[in-house]
Amino acid sequence: MMIHPAFVSVSLFLVLLLPSVAFGQDARLSSAITKAEQFQKQGKLEDAANEYEKARKLAVEVWGDNHANVAALTQAQGMLWKDLGEYAKAETLIRKTLEISTAVGDTELAAEAVNNLATVKWELADYVESQKLHENGLALLSKAYGENSPEAAVSRSNLAEALKELGDYSSGEPMVLQSIKVLRNHQPKYASELAASLMNHADFYARQGIYVRAELLLLESMQIKEKAFGVNHFEVCRPRNNLAALYFGMGQFEKAESMHKQNLKVFEATLGPNHPHVASIVLNLALTYQMQKRYDEAVAMYERALSIRRKSFAADHASISLTLHNFGQFYTKRADYPRALTTLQEALASRTKTFGPDHITVGVTSMAIGDVHYAQGQFEEAKANYEESLRIRQKQLPETHHDLAYSHTTLGEVNASTANWDSSVDHFDSARRGFRRHIDQSLPSLPEADQISFLKYVDEPYLHSSLSLVLAQPQNQKVINSTAGWVLNGKAVSQQAMAQRALIDRDTKDSKLAAAVKALLVIRKQLASLMMLSDSEEGDPAKQTRIDELVRQEQAQSRTLSEQGGRSPGSAAWIETDDVRKALKDDSVLVEIVRFRKYDFANPAAKEEDCPEHYVAWIIPKNEAGEIRVVDLGDATAIDERVRAARIALKEAPQLIRENGEQDAEKMLEPSLRSLAGSILYPLLDALEPAKTVYLSPDSLMWLVPWSALPLQDGQYAIEKFDIRFLVTGRDLVRNENTFNASNPVIFADPDFNLDPAAVEAATQQLLKKPQGQRNTLRAIAPSGKFKLGTVSRLPGTKSEAEAVLPNLELFTATKASVYSGQSALEAVFKTVRQPRVLVLSTHGFFEEEKPAGESSQTSSNPLLRCGLLLAGCNKPIDASVNDGEDGILTGLEIVSVDLRGTDLVVLSACETGLGEVRNGEGVSGLRQAFQLAGARSVVSTLWQIPDRETARLMASFFDGLAETHDKASSLRQSQLKLIAARRDRKGAAHPFYWAAFTITGE
């Protein structure tokens, strides 16, 4: 159930209310207008309209019926009645204005009347008539002042608004763009009009889900208003309200709350506490509090908003019905169903009377009433309301509008509740495809933190609801097949969007954009350096302030690139399940595991805490190898505990091996692994047969499971029966990627961590052939021991490892490899690497867990800033936050900016490089993900730290196999099997600690 805030609808054409001094010839007339202005400022709109009526009659006495001043007062009165919801009175008066202004030959006033009459029709949802009137107004002004006049520009922007409401974005947007272009050439005289046009353009983007561009336009509009009126003027509140509404729609409730509070303060100070404009802000705050589950604050705000509006407007005014609608949804959320139904029915009756039965707001309230019935188990009544809502939306909205996805979801749910499974599947399928279109449009231009909140708020509840269908009908093949498609297209969408962003940032050819990209990389470098300062430095408020500022700069620069680059929305097509099945190799199967909250269709009112999360697996074979099957693995919390227990046991393995020997230690490990296998592997075994290769796309903590080490019932490890290959999503099997001419392979090994800054500088200049003058030689050296990771020890074994794999690496790629070790294993050198066929990094890796407090929430929430690799000079780094050099600490965020398209394989021969922050549906956000975002097709990484000797042996064997077979996953498996066999021969046991850490993810 979606609840949207009141998004201010901007009417650009301002009513020209003549000030009282213009009527100084008559004291009574001047007094009446002064009173009208005072009443209007106090929010007493009906009293103001009545005073304007007195003034109009007095003006007739002074000038006669046909005079421009009479027309202006008539129009002022008409627009007040419009604001009061008395549309018939408003239309009569505005038409009278048009009649008078036409008679006296006042073209501007006539055009103004036409446009204001169009706004009346617009509010009545007669968008076709509104469009015609706006076209007439534009023709009048264009004839009188010219097509490129500011007067025509304002009228053209109004016409664009009408076209937008009709869903004709392709015709409307060019018009508002033309208006903005004209108005920019008439600054600062038409600053307010430009700001309003920018707001209208922002609404075009917001409705299409292109949120970054909408945000930038609203910010510019707000800046124009602030410059013209000051920060605390009520005119600034208009774009600020729309910006807050945009953030609300993206799930960024704290931002929205802050802006609404600022607006409320301004409105109360300027207009008083009981003005209708104050009620609008109060209502938006109520919605925001409701979404934050601050229910006591929300109900107080709802009551205040409704009280103000009832005192200000007639019973059927649109603002009262809006307040009733939102208040009714609040009661539904609080399970006060009788009050919810009464409130919503009142809103529906009012909206139907005011706007007619096919108005979009009638459809919205019909859906809300359906929610009340559905929560009470009144499924037929709910279904009728949901179908009516969908009918109206289909009539009023373009077929690709994402609001239709919400309607289809409600019908999917209610049909499931009445066991109408086929219809349920059809509606859910329409919903999932609609949501995916919306996500593809919205996500690529958003910063990662905004992507996560967007998905959590806009998509996650509905994805979980749709997938729950398979738990209600686990034997229904249509349900199974359809849900498999929703899984394939619902996982890892954030990762795909981030990859699109990285690609566009790297590929820009425009010189201005290239400079912007360079500036972004500098900001990320400074941010990464500051993040690596030790905890002892975090008490410094200056450091935290600088981090917060850099975070803001990084997000702003990313948004600017998105806007300036003309970045198109995501274009990823829906991947059909059959295409994935066709892409599977013989004797292989795809296993998609998803963690989601189980929705109870029989009890829609169940609280969230009563709906447990489950892990569910879809086993997808090749087309001719049988049907898709589904296995419910059970309660996710219990499984997660078994995952953690197994990982703790593996972490304790080195000590247990030293104390008890490998044979006993392996036996001691078996119970935790077997318990885990009993939960997540044994239930799958029947469905896996007869496959030999398993493409596995885990979810959540399942990514941290050593799947190859899970014991089978016959005593073998899973790796001994299955070739397990990891995918972030099954979509990876059918992605069509461009072919790139990969360059020579590259190896980084045995970095000299103690290299001092001067030596780093000299080595960099020598390797990159950069003259001294091109680099800043005055560098601040970070205080010793002040970095979070402390002093790290050199890894001489990695040099031997590199030498051992080099011949086979060159045989595999048929090209000479570049090797950087010791003082040449530099961060600056790594950043010059472009599309190597294979990239091997043998060094320390790190991943820091997110801290609940003590750091900027924006910063610590980005896991790509908390993971990385250590290169030469990291023990004696410069402070890259104030210098243009490198500190030897290569973070995941910096890796994303390196072009690895065409890179077939990245090998991270370092400790725990497979770890990261687990996010439901989005894989593991860490080093492995960073390299995949940079373009690498496959990444070999480790789940825990293993001894150098075993690492070297396994890597040497891996590259032996790779040179022979060119099959990456098979080569890794065979090298692990050889290590198992060798240890059993020598030790009588093969503890998973020594061989199971290595995994390969990707194609």
Measured between alpha carbons, how far is 476 from 664 in angstroms, rounded to an integer? 47
Distances from the Cα of 635 to the Cαs of 158, 278, 616, 631, 672, in angstroms? 55, 47, 9, 12, 18
pLDDT category, 540, cuts 50, 70, 90?
Answer: low
Q: Report the pLDDT value the prediction gives residue 998, as an integer from 0 to 100.
A: 92
Q: Average pLDDT, stretch 934-954?
A: 86
Mean pLDDT in residue range 803-825: 92
On whether the 746-851+859-1002 domain is CATH 3.90.105, my answer is no
Query: pLDDT at position 614, please?
Result: 96
Separation in Å, CA 822 to CA 404, 748, 910, 951: 59, 9, 16, 19
Task: Report the b/e string of 992-1002 with b at 16+ CB within 10 A.
Answer: bbbbbbbbbbb
Cα(770)–Cα(767) distance, rounded to whole angstroms?
8
pLDDT at 539: 47
Beta bridge partners of 748: 820, 841
> Cβ-count burial of 777 within 10 angstroms (0-12 exposed, 13-18 middle, 19+ buried)?
exposed
Residues with Cβ within 8 Å of 598's Cβ and at least 6 positions away in sequence, in order, are 464, 468, 471, 611, 612, 613, 614
Q: How far is 493 from 921, CA to CA, in rounded Å?
A: 8
pLDDT at residue 722 greater than cutoff 90: yes
pLDDT digits (tens, 9 = 90+) for 331-385: 998 899 999 999 999 999 999 988 889 888 899 999 999 999 999 999 999 999 9
Sort 755 into a burial class: Cβ within 10 Å, 0-12 / 13-18 / 19+. Answer: buried
Residues ≥6 apart with Cβ < 8 Å to 816: 744, 810
Mean pLDDT of 795-813: 88
Left (φ > 0), alpha (ψ -120 to 50) or beta: where does 575 sit?
A: beta
* Omega cis (within 30) before 19: no
- pLDDT of 12 reads 28
CA dist 269 → 34, 263, 427, 901 (Å): 21, 10, 49, 57
DSSP symbols for 382-413: HHHHHHHHHHHHHHHS-TT-THHHHHHHHHHH
- Indicate the DSSP class of residue 903: -
Q: Which of 114-128, 271-285, 517-531, 664-678 has the lowest mean pLDDT?
A: 517-531
Domain parsing of the chain, residue ranges: 416-504, 577-733, 746-851+859-1002
Task: Read off the tokens for 433.
Answer: 């495809």
What's this model's pTM, rounded to 2 decimal places? 0.77
Asked if 636 contacts 613 with a C-beta cutoff of 8 angstroms, the reply is yes
Q: Is the peptide bond before 690 cis (omega within 30 degrees of 0)?
A: yes
pLDDT at position 913 over 60: no
pLDDT over 90 for what percent of the chain? 38
Amino acid occupying residue 453: S
What per-residue confidence (pLDDT) applies to 564?
52
- 514-523 average pLDDT score: 64
pLDDT value of position 865: 75
pLDDT at position 799, please? 86
Q: What is the mean pLDDT of residues 817-830?
A: 92
- Report how far residue 578's alpha carbon sits from residue 576's, in angstroms, rounded to the nearest whole number: 5
Confidence of residue 8 (pLDDT cuts 50, 70, 90): very low
What pLDDT, in 10s, does the model give residues 404-440? 999 999 999 999 999 999 999 999 999 999 888 877 7
Can you name the residues that pair with 630 across neighbouring β-strands? 618
- How sure is the predictor about 782, in pLDDT bands with cuts at 50, 70 and 90? very low
When pLDDT is cut at 50, 70 and 90, the band that residue 144 belongs to is confident
What percent of the chain has pLDDT above 70?
Answer: 81
Closest CA relative to residue 13, chosen from 120, 101, 164: 120
User: How would residue 775 be classed by pLDDT, with cut points 50, 70 and 90?
Assistant: very low
Average pLDDT of 27-54? 81
Helical H segments across 661-795, by residue range? 662-680, 685-688, 718-721, 757-768
What pLDDT band is residue 609 in, cutting at 50, 70 and 90?
confident
Q: What is the pLDDT of residue 776?
A: 35
624/400 Cα distance (integer angstroms)? 34
pLDDT of residue 516: 64
What pLDDT band is residue 663 in, cutting at 50, 70 and 90?
A: very high
Q: What is the pLDDT of residue 122?
A: 75
Residue 425 near residue 478 (C-beta atoms within 8 A): yes
Statement: residue 833 has pLDDT above 80: yes
Rounded to whole angstroms, how far apart are CA atoms 428 and 411? 8
Report the chain's terminal Cα–Cα distance, integer Å: 38
Which of 125-129, 318-322, 393-397, 464-468 shows the lowest per-residue confidence on average (mean pLDDT)?
A: 125-129
Q: List phi, psi (to 5°) of 7.
A: -90, 120
pLDDT (0 to 100) of residue 86? 80
How sure is the predictor about 584, in pLDDT bands with cuts at 50, 70 and 90?
A: very high
pLDDT of residue 319: 83
Determine contact, residues 601/415, Cβ cutoff 8 Å: no
Which DSSP category does 653 fall into? H
In the predicted model, is pLDDT for residue 194 greater than 80? yes
pLDDT at 441: 67
Cβ partners under 8 Å of residue 377, min gap 6: 417, 603, 604, 605
Question: pLDDT class for 780, splitting at 50, 70, 90?
Answer: very low
The closest alpha carbon to 680, from 633, 747, 623, 735, belongs to: 633
Contact yes or no for 215/243 (Cβ under 8 A): yes
Identify any residues that bridge with 868 across adjacent strands, giving them in sequence order.
846, 891
Average pLDDT of every residue of the chain: 82
